[in-house]
Structure 1
């Protein structure tokens, strides 16, 4: 089964275009190094009648939108290999010279690796 790196991060609406541009470049790099899929999704329908809505879970500040992202790999080993190549890629290093200049709050980003349980 495949392996997925998942991300959840708050992005100020005023920075969404800059984030989209950065993410498009990053997605191209991850795919070049072997990732099977790369997605970046901005929150849209967030007023749920059940469960814990993303804005509440993430403690979003006024003017922020949640971004839910994932990168798919063949396996955890494949993920580790691809990510090692990506982190050495000078294009990625050039995009992230200073965490304070990122279009989102790096300290509030959630990240983890996930085993696929079901593929329908």
Structure 2
């Protein structure tokens, strides 16, 4: 069964294009190491919550947007191998100095797909 790595982060509006370029290059690296698909989404309708929300989760500042992204892998095993290889790939670090977002506020996790319609 497929496996997903999911991410939610806050990115300054001013670095949108830099972030897009870095994400596009990173997508190629992840795909080379076994990912089936990489999706990056720039939030344009992300409501503020009263109890919880994407914006609260990443402590979004006024000049930032919420980015929601995921990587689709064929399986957990392929993800474990591919992610390890991608993280060791020096191309993944290109354009990340300085990082175009605050990595400390990024939320991420791995998810087993249970419905895929």
Question: For residues 87-102 of structure 1, what are the structure 2 equivalents within 5 Å?
Answer: 87-96=87-96, 98=97, 101-102=98-99
Match of 1:4 in 2: 4
Q: TM-score, normalised by structure 1?
A: 0.87
- Measured in 2, the distance between the counterparts of 1:95 and 1:54 equals 26
Aligned equivalents of 2:79 and 2:99: distance in 1?
Answer: 24
Moved more, 4-13 or 58-67: 58-67
Q: Structure 1, residues 16-66: CA drift from partner, whole Å, max 9, x if none? A: 111000000000111111101101001011237998442234331111100
* In the alignment, structure 1 residue 107 sits paired with structure 2 residue 104: yes
Structure 1 stretches lacking a partner, 5+ long: none
Q: Does the C-alpha gap of structure 1 residues 75 and 15 become closer, same or farther in structure 2, counting only changes over 3 Å? A: same
Q: Distance in 1 between matches of 2:86 and 2:50?
A: 38
Give ranges in structure 2 of 5+ residues lacking alignment: none
Determine if the alignment matches structure 1 residue 58 to structure 2 residue 55: no
What are the superposed Cα offsets for residues 49-90 of structure 1, whole Å, 9 maximum, x if unpaired? 998442234331111100001001111111011112212212
Q: Which stretches of structure 1, 4 residues or more, deviate above 4 A after TM superposition? A: 48-52
Change (3 A) 1:4 1:87: same
Q: Is the Cα–Cα contact under 8 Å of residues 3 and 79 in structure 2 kept in the other structure?
A: yes
Question: Which structure shows the higher helix fraction?
Answer: 1
CA distance in 2, matches of 1:72, 1:59: 26
Query: What is the distance in 1 between the residues matched to 2:89 and 2:59?
Result: 33
Tell me, yes or no, if structure 1 residue 34 matches structure 2 residue 34: yes
